[in-house]
Chains A and B, each alone.
Chain A
Amino acid sequence: MKDKLKYLTWVSLKRKISTKWFLIVNILLCLAITCIVNIDSLIKFFGGDFNDKRVIYVVDNTGFFYDKFKVNFESLVSNIDDFSNFSVVADDRDISLLEDELKNENKNNLILVVNNDPNNLINCDVISNHYVELIDLQLITSSINNTKVELAIANSSIPVDVLNSIYDDVSINRVILESDKSLHDENITIVMNTIFPIFILPFFMLTIILIQMIGAEVNDEKSTRGMEIIISNVSPSVHFASKVIAGNLFVIGQTILLIIYCLLGLGIRKLIGGDSIVNGVIDQVMTSANDVIATGIGSQIMYILPVTILLMLITFISYSLLAGILASMTTNTEDFQQLQTPIIVVSLVGYYLAMMANVFKGSLFIKFIAYIPLISSILTPSLLILGQFNLFDVIISFLLVILFNYLLIKYGLKIYKVGILNYSSKDLWKKMFKALK
């Protein structure tokens, strides 16, 4: 029987992966993920208005503003250079000439006229041919204000050492009063809050794939009397186990492929030298992660990640058991698709509550829901990261999922045995309850 289980699992897995659609879908996934990781480079590749170099003509009537402004402006936009393509040049032409140029030739350029102001050091005119985007205006305004402050301080007779201390960053010492909380944990929380959604979304997507695959396969076999031939040669429990194992192996394999596609995308990104806001976020997360590791306390990550992955794997089994049982009760794929909707909704509840857990910190409702199997795989790690769950809570979640799986196997198998050879939806629930007795 063991050989037959292996064979059935292999056949089931082969039916999922040795199809042209599996190949096509994975090619599309690979392309999509690579594109998403390199979305900024892709956008730039196709070009657009954002590629036009724009100039800010600075008409400096003060004689001291331009140099400092140029430094300040370029420093401010350096982090977002992909999206702000201004260059700053000094210009001593007549304003009317510059305005004519804006009207007739370089319509996206700007003119910044700076004048002395007896009350406020300087005043400025920002002249454009048409509307200026808010972010551009804010960049210019901030740079002007920063420049003005610098000029004002420089003009005052503040000693050099005092001036240096003004410009130095403030030394901030973080103190957390709760004894069981640490700065390291806080850093981890920041990192995990960024990383965790990366786990949740694929998990949710793979859960739906898993449910649908098992349901479709069982219904496919049920749509013919082939099920009778199969069950006359292997027990329903072996058949059930083969579907669950094959479904989970598929999901694990698909997860590995998704990771490979991400790595491929990042590799391409490195090759083409892409850097942008997206890159900035990745760098920021990596820097934070490195800081955490450098402090020598990756200990929390060391158990949060395995806990999350393990809970997800056990929950995949729960979903596949449930999908198999429900599929055995239905007589066609359409019925199963209707029956699977509540499971997907349950999964969605977990997904949304995980997103909301950070907002409603300490919510008893969310804490209670986080113990519930099927949802716990998403919520428990979220609460663990937020410090609302401890190891004891995690163990409870684990035990509840294991208990849930045990009950699904014990009672679900009884339903499965009756269900897979049932071809009629008449008195369905009656038959199922009878099977449980």
Chain B
Amino acid sequence: MLSVNCVSKSYDKVLAVDNLSFSVKPGDIFGLLGLNGAGKTTTFRMILGLIEPDSGSITLNGEKIDYSVTNKIGFLTEERSLLVKMTVLEQCLFYGTLKGMSRDSIITKLDILLERFGISDYKNRKIKELSKGNQQKVQFITAIINDPVLLILDEPFSGLDPVNVELFKSVIVELSKKGSMIIFSSHRMEHVELFCQKILILVKGRTVLSGDLNKIKKNYERMNIFIKGDIDIDKLSKIDGVLGISHNNDEYVVNIKNDSIINSVFKAISKCNVTKFVVNEASLNEIFLASVGEAYEG
């Protein structure tokens, strides 16, 4: 289990991470969310042992993270981390060897992964000759080639088309099922929402929301009602508890305070010609925006 306990880090007078605590169990996919500059990269760097926290501790399976355990960690950086003058094979041999793998095991694993990602033909091509999407695939392969116990993914879907996003997701879920702990960071909430069981939202280094994603959604009372038809917008907006109405394509999205408002809305449109009335929980994106917004206002 990865345990981050009351960790703080500041650069000069700027507090980058403030008393951060969370844990990731084997098989968990943990979403670490936040705006740019929220402290995500600093947190990743502290987990990897690249920088020391000012206070608090970080352990992996009870041990302090040092060079004796980093072989078991995989890291996909948000920005390019490939040495573009190398070939795909050379790059994977380089990072794989640094993770303590033997040449033979790297090549065996690499062949399987290249096949899986559909880039076997590029094995001996220089990285600079590959497209951005294929470079991202190679970067991802270098992060998982050692079957990491802990995998840190910082914006893994950057530069990928929807087909490859699905491919990446399936591999991530597979690793999770095999027992890897996965920390996932993305600005795309729909991606986080799809497979993160737990999330933590950081604002200026402080935790503003954390816990089980389903529970967070459940506890977040606001809901959306999707209505298609000829309805009286003025009448709906006057209902106590209706926070806002927006028009999206050919349907209306009514944002309500909590589920007790659903009946009032339903009654108000019951005599109208309505073809769709669907009640949904708030999306993670809304929760994120609300949390970040509140934190900034606070």
Identify the 9 closest CB pairs spanning chains A and B, nearest first: A225-B77, A233-B98, A225-B81, A232-B48, A226-B81, A225-B79, A224-B80, A229-B81, A7-B97
Is the pair B98, A230 in contact by a Cβ cutoff of 8 Å? yes
For the complex, is B26 an interface residue (Cβ under 8 Å from A)?
A: no
Contact status of A224 and B75, CB under 8 A, knowing A7-B97, A232-B50: no
**Contact residues, B34-52 vs A (CB, 8 A):** 45, 48-51
Selected contact of B98 from candidates A220, A224, A234, CB within 8 Å: A234
The interface residues of chain A lying within 8 Å CB-to-CB of B185 are none
Selected contact of A421 from candidates B50, B71, B85, B94, CB within 8 Å: B50
Q: How many CB-defined contacts (below 8 Å) exist between A and B?
A: 59
| B residues contacting the other copy or chain, number (CB 8 A) | 26
| Closest B residue, CB atoms, query A238 | B67
| Closest A residue, CB atoms, query B73 | A232
For the complex, is A11 an interface residue (Cβ under 8 Å from B)?
A: yes
Is the pair A229, B45 in contact by a Cβ cutoff of 8 Å? no
For the complex, is A345 an interface residue (Cβ under 8 Å from B)?
A: no
| A residues contacting the other copy or chain, number (CB 8 A) | 20
Contact status of A228 and B67, CB under 8 A, knowing A4-B98, A421-B51: no
CB distance from A130 to the nearest CB of B (A): 61
| Closest B residue, CB atoms, query A4 | B98
The interface residues of chain A lying within 8 Å CB-to-CB of B83 are 220-221, 224, 226
Instruction: Report Cα–Cα, A220/B127, bound state, in Å.
Output: 14
For the complex, is A235 an interface residue (Cβ under 8 Å from B)?
A: yes
* Main secondary structure on B side of the interface with A: loop
The 10 listed contacts between A and B (C-beta, < 8 Å) are A1-B67, A4-B97, A221-B83, A225-B78, A225-B80, A231-B50, A232-B75, A233-B67, A233-B95, A235-B67
The interface residues of chain B lying within 8 Å CB-to-CB of A221 are 83
Is the pair B84, A229 in contact by a Cβ cutoff of 8 Å? no
| Closest B residue, CB atoms, query A233 | B98
Taking Cβ atoms with an 8 Å cutoff, the residues of B that contact A are 45, 48-51, 67, 70-71, 73, 75, 77-85, 94-95, 97-100, 142
Instruction: Report Cα–Cα, A421/B95, bound state, in Å.
Output: 17
Is the pair B77, A229 in contact by a Cβ cutoff of 8 Å? yes
Is the pair A228, B97 in contact by a Cβ cutoff of 8 Å? no
Instruction: Report Cα–Cα, A421/B81, bound state, in Å.
Output: 13
Selected contact of A232 from candidates B70, B84, B85, CB within 8 Å: B70
Is the pair B82, A226 in contact by a Cβ cutoff of 8 Å? yes
**Contact residues, A373-420 vs B (CB, 8 A):** none
Selected contact of B79 from candidates A224, A233, A421, CB within 8 Å: A224
The interface residues of chain B lying within 8 Å CB-to-CB of A224 are 79-84
Instruction: Report Cα–Cα, A230/B83, bound state, in Å.
Output: 11
| Closest A residue, CB atoms, query B81 | A225
| Closest B residue, CB atoms, query A227 | B81
CB distance from B126 to the nearest CB of A (A): 12
Instruction: Report Cα–Cα, A229/B80, bound state, in Å.
Output: 11
Contact status of A233 and B71, CB under 8 A, knowing A225-B79, A228-B77: yes
Contact status of A234 and B67, CB under 8 A, knowing A4-B98, A224-B79, A228-B48: yes
Most chain A CB within 10 A, of B73, B81, B84, is at B81
Is the pair A229, B142 in contact by a Cβ cutoff of 8 Å? yes
Most chain B CB within 10 A, of A4, A228, A234, is at A228
The interface residues of chain A lying within 8 Å CB-to-CB of B84 are 224
Instruction: Report Cα–Cα, A224/B142, bound state, in Å.
Output: 15
Q: Besides the contacts A4-B100, A11-B94, A224-B80, what 17 more A-B pairs have beta carbons closer than 8 Å?
A: A1-B67, A4-B97, A7-B98, A8-B98, A224-B81, A225-B77, A225-B78, A225-B80, A226-B80, A228-B50, A228-B77, A229-B75, A229-B77, A230-B98, A232-B75, A233-B71, A421-B51
| Closest B residue, CB atoms, query A1 | B67
Most chain A CB within 10 A, of B48, B70, B83, B142, is at B83
The interface residues of chain A lying within 8 Å CB-to-CB of B79 are 224-225
Instruction: Report Cα–Cα, A220/B81, bound state, in Å.
Output: 11
Q: Mark A232-270, 1 if CB is under 8 A from B, else 0.
A: 111100000000000000000000000000000000000
| Closest B residue, CB atoms, query A427 | B12
| Closest B residue, CB atoms, query A15 | B85
Most chain A CB within 10 A, of B50, B71, B73, B78, is at B50
The interface residues of chain A lying within 8 Å CB-to-CB of B45 are 228, 421
Instruction: Report Cα–Cα, A8/B70, bound state, in Å.
Output: 17
Q: Mark A12-27, 1 if CB is under 8 A from B, else 0.
A: 0001000000000000
| Closest A residue, CB atoms, query B91 | A226
CB distance from A120 to the nearest CB of B (A): 79
